[in-house]
Structure 1
Amino acid sequence: MSQIRIDDITRDNWFEATRLRVRDDQTAVYPCPVVYWIAESMFESHYRTKAIYLGEAMIGFLVYGQDPDDGRYWLITFMIDGQHQGKGYGKQAIAAFLEYFRANHDADRLVLGHRPDNAAAAALYAKAGFRETGEIIGGEVIRCYTFAK
């Protein structure tokens, strides 16, 4: 049983979230720090910010929401702190988020985009069941996860 859980970003943990960082060699494919996403969520009312915890330690961050333009639910950003990468937590966190999403939303699919040169993200999302749609939006490869009925 995984100790990974998805929880809200709140007044009590937002600053801890801003301390999460990707590795230095990943900033080209994940250029926006967590503080950017938290700030943007104050203006994009459909953004839902979430912390990824391993036990009591915050190890990652994600944003998701239903796009008001296309009606689709998007996993807008996802990251595991550089100190916690390479341990299988990304895969576990995606699985935990998919369970959380399914339990809280009546939607049959979830889409995301990643930069074409982000091989680690591509592999993670493919293993988690996100399939390429053939769409390229804003230079990103679009993938879709379809929930079983």
Structure 2
Amino acid sequence: MSNVYFRDIEEANECIVRKIKLKPGQENFIETVDECLKEADTSHEWHPVAIYDDEEIIGFAMYGSFGPNKDTWIDRIMIDEKYQGKGLGKIAMKKLIDIVSKEYGVSVIYLSIIEENRIAQSLYESMGFEFHI
């Protein structure tokens, strides 16, 4: 049984989060953690978090809300290659949707995805998201 939860990026976990690795071939699907954290530093609307399972850091996510319409995004989510294929990404995504919808008071959440990332697209569609170009 997994115990997936999130913590803000802070001095105690930042170094480990920056070492998250994706499986070969996934590198073109998402920005690196370093790039994400740099973007979050320049735009304070972004909220980067470490994804934990028990006390292990298993991934990274970044979400935020923008503009007068409160367009809310889960823009980045990645699970380290060692933890992929165990259902942890889906668990993390469900919990993140709940957190984000409550934090921003919204019922519509947007995602960004590279069209070639079929595995992520399938996961998101299984969770009720619709894919639009």
Please indicate, yes or no, whether the TM-score normalized by the shorter chain is above 0.5. Answer: yes
Deviation at 1:70, TM superposition (A): 5.9
1:13-32 equivalences in 2 (<5 Å): 13-30=13-30, 32=31
TM-score normalised by length of structure 2 = 0.91
- Higher relative contact order, chain-length normalized (CA < 8 Å, sep 6+): 2
More strand by share: 1
> Which whole-Å deviations, capped at 9, do the CAs of 1:106-137 have from their partners, x for residues lacking one?
112111121111001101111122122x3x3x
Deviation at 1:67, TM superposition (A): 2.3
Match of 1:115, SS state, is: coil
Q: How far apart are the structure 1 equivalents of 2:41 and 2:101?
A: 24
> Which whole-Å deviations, capped at 9, do the CAs of 1:54-102 have from their partners, x for residues lacking one?
0000101011001237630011111000111011111111011122223
The CA RMSD measured in Å over matched residues stands at 1.6
More helix by share: 2
Q: Which residue of 2 aligns with 1:11?
A: 11
Flag as ranges the 4+ runs of structure 1 deviating above 4 A: none
TM-score normalised by length of structure 1 = 0.82
Q: How far apart are the structure 1 equivalents of 2:13 and 2:50?
A: 9
Equivalenced residue count is 133
| Identity %, equivalent residues | 27
